[in-house]
Chains A and B, each alone.
Chain A
Amino acid sequence: NAGVTQTPKFRVLKTGQSMTLLCAQDMNHEYMYWYRQDPGMGLRLIHYSVGEGTTAKGEVPDGYNVSRLKKQNFLLGLESAAPSQTSVYFCASRMTVTFQAFFGQGTRLTVV
């Protein structure tokens, strides 16, 4: 039982490149979330999903796309990376009823 696993853990991108961050959970959770956290700042919600095949915008969705084709996976895409997207990205999942969420260990992304 691995919980929430994020891939990759570190990545350096050049401006304009694209990439996909993968979040996988093995707890059969309905809800999944993507956050970003800039140095010294709080967590900001990018997108979230309330179930397979659904996605919704969070507080800072611009520049990101997401997909939830399988219940256990939530993908975060950057189509054209910008230096402003340099951040630590966290994924989380939870069951439907409770807001007890489980977080991954983060992906540290640097865009140069």
Chain B
Amino acid sequence: DAKTTQPPSMDCAEGRAANLPCNHSTISGNEYVYWYRQIHSQGPQYIIHGLKNNETNEMASLIITEDRKSSTLILPHATLRDTAVYYCIVRVEAGGTSYGKLTFGQGTILTVHP
């Protein structure tokens, strides 16, 4: 699986857009980019995923560069409740035991300020 690199921490003002980057320069053609977040003391929560096209849902937007070597998770209007650790994960979607693992790196601590 491709390795991901995220900044350890970021700050954002409430009401502004939060743009969280993720570098995955070794990503292969069949690997998807997934984003999760973990609010303090809670279990992680799935946010969004994509292969190569930009994706949007009710929580966020995912922008993947054309060469797929990096992506950005965008929270369009950050609130205090968006303060959390955000994880970027790259995975192949396939069956089989060797593809079963789901592991998390250190992620980015996003702090939203009033």
Contacts and interface: CB of A to CB of B under 8 A. Distances in A.
Contact of B100 (A56, A88, A103): A56
Contact of B46 (A48, A90, A101, A104): A101
Interface residues of A, number: 27
Interface in B60-110: 85, 89, 91, 93-97, 100-107
Nearest to B32: A99
A43 B44 contact: yes
Given A98-B93, A99-B32, A50 B100 contact: yes
A101 B103 CA distance: 11
Q: In this complex, which of A97, A100, A104 has the most chain B Cβ atoms within 10 angstroms of its Cβ?
A: A100
A48 B49 CA distance: 22
Nearest to B46: A100
Q: In this complex, which of A4, A59, A99, A101 has the most chain B Cβ atoms within 10 angstroms of its Cβ?
A: A99
Q: In this complex, which of B36, B95, B101 has the most chain A Cβ atoms within 10 angstroms of its Cβ?
A: B101
Given A45-B103, A105-B42, A100 B34 contact: yes
Contacts of B45: 103
Contact of A104 (B43, B85, B93, B106): B43
A55 B106 CA distance: 25
Nearest to A106: B43
Contacts of A59: 103
Contact of B41 (A33, A50, A96, A106): A106
Given A99-B49, A100-B46, 6 more contacts: A42-B107, A58-B101, A92-B43, A99-B102, A101-B44, A105-B43
